[in-house]
A and B are shown apart, each in its own frame.
Chain A
Amino acid sequence: MGNCQKSRALSNRHLLISRYHSFCELNMSRKNKLRINDFNDDTLIIIFSMLTLKEKLCVLRVCKRWQRLVKVVLQKCVSIKMGEHSVKCHCHCYNYVNWDFPPHKSFSRDDCGYVIYPNPLLNYLMKLCPNLKCINLSHCYLDNNALKSTF
């Protein structure tokens, strides 16, 4: 009789312990908080494809994985709109054009105020976007040398 009770008490204790274990497991299952690099490649590619070209080129420097994935996204890039809307322009391009590469304020300008893109820019873009088919330029200059060396 006594033995039987003892073993029941033991098995109850065993049950409690195993419940405790599963409780621990449940709490442990939610390991550390997710970080952005826990996402799979596809999810990160969706994020990067929503950035503008200039932002893509910027986040390319964050870490090696981002660099690799941004380059994958840039493979899909077939057209670029460069330049800006000018006050002298009577078109309505500011209504519908999203510039991929708006000029930075440190870029130099000619006498009329048109922006001059830095020399290595085109080369750099051609290298990163091998499938580029169309470049749309508006109210801006690209250096002759840059054009010659690229095409």
Chain B
Amino acid sequence: MNGEYSLDTTEGMAASGDPPTNNAVDDYDAEEALERQREEENKIKIKLKSFEGGVYECGLTAAKMSVMVANMLDALQETDLTKIATREPIPLQNDAVTNKALEKIVEWVDHHWDDPPIDPDFDDEKERRNEELSHWDKQFIDIADQGELFDIIAAANFMDIKGLVEVGAKHICNKIKGKSCTEVREMLKIHNDFTPEEEAAIHKENEWIYAKD
């Protein structure tokens, strides 16, 4: 019976789930079984190693939010997932993955691991763009030090955690909103590489946009 509910990768794990009470295998049951599996899998802790050498522990389902880590785990072709926990830490070879950044990333995926996955068929960028960040995300990403914030975003991008990159991007957008381009340059320490002539040309083309509210 259980075989019907388990995924290939979780053989041996599925036995811990309760057998279904009736014979009708509907979507709801399958969904619930999948959820239980994700929950069970998240109890397995794996180790991630930052570029600076710090090792951080993270639930398996949470760690798989990183497409890069998920691919690396797939490549191991390990059928007994509990063995993954005893493996060497997974090294993350990018200098943006500092100890601090990885610590924050692990905190984020540990909080978000049971989020419903983004449906690629209903991936309306504009809708998601207008969605406000949750209170938890807002507090999570409100980091005073810009270098640290950028490390987290760059590291999340390297590890391919789409949700976290978007949280960071939205945070930066909120900071950009309502600022003039001079203020944006100052805030983000960007060098203005336009010549005065080029700048005057853009300004002339659309000066009515830049009138400050």
Contacts and interface: CB of A to CB of B under 8 A. Distances in A.
Nearest to A100: B126
B76 interface: no
A62 B129 contact: no
A121 interface: yes
B211 A26 contact: no
B154 interface: yes
Contacts of A58: 180-181, 184, 209-210
Q: Report the interface size class on chain B.
A: 35 or more
Contacts, number: 109
B188 A35 contact: yes
B147 interface: yes
A37 B147 CA distance: 12
Contact of A62 (B125, B150, B166, B184): B184
Interface in B165-194: 165-166, 169-170, 172-173, 176-177, 180-181, 184-185, 188-194
B209 A54 contact: yes
A77 to B, nearest CB: 10
Interface stretch (B67-75, B106-114, B198-206): B198-206
Interface of B is mostly: helix
A55 B192 contact: no
A50 interface: yes
Nearest to B180: A58
A105 interface: yes
B141 interface: no
A120 interface: yes
Contact of B154 (A26, A30, A43, A60): A43
A138 interface: no
B157 interface: yes
B25 to A, nearest CB: 39
B159 interface: no
Contacts of B169: 43, 46-47, 50
B208 interface: yes
B51 interface: yes
Q: Report the interface size class on chain A.
A: 35 or more
B199 A39 contact: no
A59 interface: yes
Given A30-B52, A47-B169, A62 B213 contact: no
A106 B211 contact: yes
Interface in A32-66: 33-40, 42-43, 46-47, 49-51, 54-55, 57-64, 66
A35 B189 contact: yes
Given A57-B209, A61-B202, A63-B192, 14 more contacts: A31-B95, A33-B147, A34-B150, A35-B146, A47-B172, A49-B129, A51-B173, A61-B210, A62-B181, A63-B185, A66-B190, A98-B130, A120-B206, A124-B205
Interface of B: 51-53, 95-96, 98, 125, 129-130, 146-147, 150-151, 153-154, 157, 165-166, 169-170, 172-173, 176-177, 180-181, 184-185, 188-194, 199, 202-203, 205-206, 208-211, 213
